[in-house]
Amino acid sequence: MNKFTKLFFNFIDRLHSAYQNTDAKVGDSVRQGDTAELIDAIKKAQSERDRVESLAHDLEKFKLAVEGASDHISITDIDGMVLYVNKAVEKITGYGREEVVGKKAGSLWKLPMPQEYYQNMWDTIKTQKKSFIGELRNRKKDGTVYISSINIFPVLDKGGAVLFFVGIERDITREKQIDTEKTEFVSLASHQLRTPLTAINWYSEMLLDGDAGTMTERQKQYIEEIHTSGQRLIDLVTALLNISRVERGTLTVSPEPIDIIESCEAIIKELTPQINKKHITIMRQFETGMPIMKVDRSFIGIVFQNLITNAIEYTREGGFIVVAITRDGKNLLCSVADNGIGIPVDAQSRIFEKMYRADNAMDMKSDGNGLGLYLVRSIIERNNGNIWFISEQNKGTTFLFTLPLSGMLSKEGTKTLVS
Ligand code: ADP
């Protein structure tokens, strides 16, 4: 064994203790006494050392970032037992880390939520292995209630099995408060605006009816403009008022036994003048023997009213509309189809957003407010239903919605929807 080899041996000994995973490769080379192989092994050991060092460095950076984050970050085992929490837990919940680790996540601060909420959460993260995004009402150690947004996602091994869960929680109490204040303001302002606007319309109608004597054609034309604009404003504040009531959760839900086909027919009858004016053919596909459902009459009325009005407005003269009511398992399934202008592909993802209107709709009808579908979706989803659509530009659109046949759950609130 030459001098160099001895020196290398020394070096290897030191590496050996530091990096156990390279131990076998280096040891084998040395026994063979092959210098070239030894140099190769040392190079590998060095590169492995660099890799481990850089990994350790990255981990340290990562740890500092997680520790310093203002969001509360936790890692739990697959049963929800906390393995790690960052410092933010103390600020957000008031509990010290030592009080939290080893306990079930949220057991200290969680306020009761419906059982289905947690079932859905566990199903999403454990069975479907997807991320769950939601909001929770929690209580700090000192008793203060706060609202947090949560995002929990599973970390999987190479075989797809859940290793652990990571939860990121943010205190959004302040944002929620601002949101509530804004909604309250909109509600109050719309309510205040409705009375004078109704008066303007009422008096312009009286003038048009000749109650204050005959008018010249020019005067009539001006008053008609005032009436049309006034009606648009009433529609807008009514939609804003209804939306703010739905969002504030102050609405009374009064389900009563209803024949859905009958309530849909009532809306079609109301809209018949518009349907006839555009020479639109309306067809019905109603399943016979539909059960009577317990739903709030004003809710279902607003849903049909918006969907059928849109179908009329966004369909050209002489077009057709098909309204269908059927059963789909445990759900009521309704659809309103038209062969109108359709929804452009680039607008489709935004169509249920508040005040969003597609360009082709604005070209066809300049005075919409983009609030109808938002309200319809809020009503449907708050009553455990779903709404979606299929559309192709210049071919037509079909809106579909479901509601559980078991009906709507009654709720004692302070307000009702206005029409
Ligand atoms: P508005 O009709 O007042 O604009 P809505 O909230 O009812 O407001 O609808 C939002 C947008 O959805 C419309 O502006 C239009 O772009 C699109 N839309 C809704 N229904 C239809 C339909 N049947 N055909 C084509 N586009 C539609």
Query: pLDDT exceeding 90 applies to what percent of the chain?
Result: 72
Of how many residues is the chain composed?
Answer: 419
Banded pLDDT at 89 (limits 50, 70, 90): very high
Which atom of ligand 1 is closest in space to residue 336's alpha carbon?
23
Res 408: pLDDT: 93
373 lines ligand 1 (CB under 6 A): yes
Q: What pLDDT score was predicted for residue 156?
A: 95
15 vs 230, higher pLDDT: 230
Q: Which ligand 1 atom sits closest to the C-alpha of 306?
A: 7
**Whether the Cβ atoms of residue 401 and residue 334 lie closer than 8 Å to each other:** yes
Q: What pLDDT sits at residue 17?
A: 59
Please tell me the predicted confidence (pLDDT) of residue 377: 96
* Distance in Å, CA 364 to ligand 1 centroid: 11
Residue type, position 266, single letter: A
41: pLDDT strictly greater than 90: no
**pLDDT, tens only, 121-136:** 999 999 999 999 999 9
Give me the percent of the chain exceeding a pLDDT of 70.
92
CA angle 316, 321, 326 (to 5 degrees): 160
**What angle, rounded to 10 degrees, do the helices at 217-248 and 173-208 form?**
150
| Model pLDDT, residue 236 | 92
Which atom of ligand 1 is nearest the CA belonging to 340? 24
| Confidence band of 15 (pLDDT split at 50, 70, 90) | low
Residue 192 has pLDDT above 60, yes or no: yes
Ligand 1 pocket test, candidate residues 234, 357, 399, most atoms within 8 A of CB: 357
| Full-model pTM | 0.71
CA 232 – ligand 1 centroid, Å: 16
How many Cβ atoms sit within 10 Å of the Cβ of residue 351?
Answer: 20
- Atom from ligand 1 closest to the CA of residue 370: 8
Instruction: Please tell me the distance between residue 370's alpha carbon and the centre of ligand 1 in angstroms.
Output: 7
Q: Is 333 in the pocket of ligand 1 (CB under 6 A)?
A: no
Q: Which of 365, 349, 357, 258 is nearest to 303 (CA)?
A: 258
The Å distance, Cα 361 to ligand 1 centre, comes to: 7
Q: Separation of 277 CA from ligand 1 center, angstroms?
A: 19
Between the CA of 303 and the centroid of ligand 1 the distance, in Å, is 13
- Ligand 1, atom 25: closest residue by C-alpha: 342
Per-residue confidence at 42, pLDDT binned at 50, 70, 90?
confident
Which of the residue ranges 26-30, 199-203, 230-234, 336-340 would you say has the lowest mean pLDDT? 26-30
Q: What mean pLDDT, rounded, does the chain reach?
A: 90
- 401 forms beta bridges with 334, 387
| Residue partners of 69: CB distance under 8 A and separation at least 6 | 86, 88
**Predicted pLDDT at 397:** 98
| 11 has a pLDDT exceeding 70 | no
| Residue 20: predicted pLDDT | 54
Q: What is the pLDDT of residue 341?
A: 97
375-400: buried (b, 16+ CB within 10 Å) or exposed (e) per residue?
bbbbbbebbebebebebebeebbbbb
Atom number, ligand 1, closest to the C-alpha of residue 358:
16
Residue bearing tokens 């009005």: 309
Ligand 1 pocket residue status of 368, Cβ below 6 Å: yes
Nearest CA to ligand 1 atom 8: 370
Nearest CA to ligand 1 atom 11: 357
Give nearest CA residue, ligand 1 atom 9: 370
Cα–Cα dist 351/15, whole Å: 63
**pLDDT (mean) for 218-242:** 94
What was the pLDDT predicted at 34? 67
The predicted structure's pLDDT at residue 21: 53
Where residue 113 falls among pLDDT bands split at 50, 70, 90?
Answer: confident
In this predicted structure, the answer to whether residue 48 has a pLDDT above a threshold of 90 is no
Probe ligand 1: pick from 373, 376, 395, 398, max atoms within 8 Å of CB? 373
Output DSSP code: residue 268: H
**410 vs 254: CA distance, rounded Å:** 5
Ligand 1 within 6 A of CB of 338: yes
Q: Is 351 in the pocket of ligand 1 (CB under 6 A)?
A: yes
Average pLDDT over residues 99-128: 89
Measured CA to CA, the distance from residue 163 to residue 318 in angstroms comes to 60
* Beta carbon of 375 within 6 Å of any ligand 1 atom: no
How confident is the model at residue 247, as a pLDDT?
A: 86
| pLDDT per residue as tens digits for the range 270-324 | 999 999 999 999 999 999 999 999 999 999 999 999 999 999 999 999 999 999 9
Q: Lowest-pLDDT range, 104-108, 147-151, 339-343?
A: 104-108
Q: Is the CB of 369 under 6 A from ligand 1?
A: yes
Could you tell me if the CB of 255 is within 6 A of ligand 1? no
User: Is residue 397 within 6 Å of ligand 1 at its C-beta?
Assistant: yes
Residue of 280, 343, 346, 362 with the most ligand 1 atoms within 8 Å of its CB, for mutation: 343
